[in-house]
Amino acid sequence: MSTRESPRTLTYWIVPLTAAAIGVAYLVAGLVGDDPGFGVTGLLVMLAAGAAFLVASRWSETARGLMERRDERINAIDQSATTFAGLCVIAAVLAMFVVEVARGNDGQPYAALGAVAGAAYVGSLVWLRFRR
Same domain, 46 and 88: no
Domain tally, the chain: 2
pLDDT tens profile 79-121:
999 999 999 999 999 999 999 999 999 999 999 999 999 999 9
69 and 75 in contact (C-beta within 8 Å)? yes
Burial of 3 (0-12, 13-18, 19+ CB in 10 A): exposed
Predicted TM-score (pTM) of the model is 0.72
Same domain, 46 and 61: yes
Same domain, 121 and 106: yes
Tell me the pLDDT of the chain averaged across its residues: 91
| pLDDT on residue 1 | 45
pLDDT tens profile 21-43:
999 999 999 999 999 999 999 99
Same domain, 37 and 79: no
**Domain of 14, in residue numbers:** 1-70
